[in-house]
Amino acid sequence: MKKKETEALEEEIEIPEGIEVKVEGSKIIIKKEGNVLERDFSTKKIVYNVQDNKLKFSASRSTRREKKLLGSIMAHVKNMLRGISKNHVYKLQICSGHFPMNVSVSGNEFVIKNFLGETIPRTLKIREGVSVKVDGSNVIVESNNKELAGQTAASIEQLTRVKARDSRIFQDGIYIIEKDGKPI
């Protein structure tokens, strides 16, 4: 059977006012008021450039693989455009039923003391570009990079994961309750 030739695929994203977008090779750099986000999309199948205040994407063929790749790149760029204007926020809830947990942020470390009666505190190094705040029984993770904010929230949740106890009875821990404005 002969392969069917497919037509070119083109998409575009409108760039909001006050945001500068630059394309350098395979990197897309987004700037606004001193904040800079950049990401390298190394692919030869998708070509992108800035024209008339729009970021244009094109692929020479419109196969299923190129459509999926283009959709992923566009989703990442939309998250970058949203993050440069308004931070991505993840909210976590502290649940301590058996032992009173002490959760704090000191410098660039997230510290949990007295988790299930443990004497050694559990710590997590906070990545650069992410801010973590403890507000009563809530932990708020903010960043203009969605991947960093999500990974930090997941690492905090994993920090209190326990396999040695019955999870139906010992529900102590820190759990994600809101991912970037969407309740779980």
Per-domain boundaries in the chain: 9-85, 88-183
Which pLDDT does position 1 carry in this prediction? 52
Which pLDDT does position 5 carry in this prediction? 55
> Using alpha carbons only, what angle is made at residue 164 by residues 162 and 170, rounded to the nearest 5 degrees?
60
Largest CA distance in the chain: 69
Please give the CATH number for the structural domain made up of 9-85.
3.90.930.12
Domains 9-85 and 88-183 agree in fold? yes
CB contact set of 76 (below 8 Å; sequence gap of 6+): 39, 41
- Tokens standing for 78? 């939309």
Amino acid letter at 137? S
Superfamily of domain 88-183: Ribosomal protein L6 (3.90.930.12)
H-only helix segments in the chain? 64-85, 146-159
Return d(Cα 108, Cα 172) in angstroms, integer.
24
Return d(Cα 60, Cα 62) in angstroms, integer.
7
Q: One digit per residue, pLDDT tens: the chain, 184 residues?
A: 555 556 788 888 999 999 999 999 889 999 998 889 999 988 888 888 898 889 999 888 888 988 999 999 999 999 999 999 899 999 999 998 878 899 999 999 999 999 988 899 999 999 999 999 999 999 999 999 999 999 999 999 999 988 887 777 778 899 999 998 888 8
